[in-house]
Amino acid sequence: MKIAEKHRAARQHILQAAKPLIGLRGFSAVGLAQILDVAGIPKGSFYHYFESKEAFGEELLRTYIEDYLLMMEDLLKKGDGNAAQKLTRYCQFWRDTHLEGQVGDKCLIVKLAAEVSDLSERMRAILEVGTTTVIDRLGTVITQGQAEGSVGNQQTPQMLAAALYQLWLGATLMVKITRNAQSFDHAWEATRRLLDI
C-alpha cells in the first residue's frame, strides 16, 4: 500500500473510531488525546492526519452525511412499495435507530447541530448542505407520492419535506430529554396527518 493510501486509510479509521465517542459526548467535550486513543493511533500524531480539530470535525460531518445519504437511497429509492410506504420505512428507520441503535449509529446532526453551528462556520455550512440534501430527497419522494396518490397532501413537496424533517429532528431531541418514545409516537401521528397517508 502506498503512503498516500495508508494516510487516507488511517484518516478514515480515526473518523470511524471517533464517531461513536463524539455521538455520545459531543464535539467540544472530546479531546484530541481521546480521539487518538479510541482509534489506537499514537499520541501526538493527530496533526499528521488533520490540520486542526475543526478540519477533523468537517471531515467527520462530511463522511457521516455521505453515509447517511447512501442509507437514504437504499430506503427510499431501492425499496419496494409506493412513496407513502417508503416514507413510512424512513420514519421507522429513524425511530429504530434512536431507540434501539448503538450510539455510533445515532444521528450526528441531532447531536452536533446546535453545538458546532455556533463554533464553526465551515461545520455549520456542511450541516446546512447535508440537511438541505436530505430534505430535497424527501421532497422527491413526496412528489412521487402526490403523483401516484399515496400522499394526499398536495401542498408544495419541498415545504412538506422540510416540515417532516424538522418534525423528526424535534421529536428526537424530545426523546433524548424525556428518555421515552412518546415523542416519536406523536411525530408519527403528525407525519400521517401532514402528508395525508
φ/ψ of residue 28, rounded to 5: -70, -30
Predicted local distance difference test score (pLDDT) of residue 78: 78
Q: What is the mean pLDDT of residues 105-109?
A: 84
Q: Residue 103 pLDDT > 70, yes or no? A: no
Whether 126 contacts 27, CB under 8 Å: no
* Domains delineated in the chain: 55-195 (1.10.357.10)
Q: What is the mean pLDDT of residues 156-171?
A: 98
Helix intervals (H) in 26-52: 32-39, 46-49
pTM of the model: 0.92
Predicted local distance difference test score (pLDDT) of residue 77: 84
Distance in angstroms (rounded) separating the CA atoms of residues 93 and 2: 39
Task: pLDDT band for 104, please (50, 70, 90 cuts).
Answer: low
State the DSSP code for 13. H
Distance of CA 183 to the CA centre of its chain: 18
Percent of the chain with pLDDT over 90: 86
Q: Which three cell numbers, joined as nine digits, stand for 180? A: 421515552
Q: What is the mean pLDDT of residues 123-137?
A: 98
User: What is the residue type of 25?
Assistant: R
Q: Which three cell numbers, joined as nine digits, stand for 37? A: 486513543
Distance of CA 78 to the CA centre of its chain: 19
Q: What is the mean pLDDT of residues 137-161?
A: 98
Q: Which three cell numbers, joined as nine digits, stand for 112? A: 452536533
pLDDT (tens digit, 9 = 90+) per residue, 2-52?
888 888 999 999 999 999 999 999 999 999 999 999 999 988 889 999 999
Q: Residue 101 pLDDT > 80, yes or no? A: no
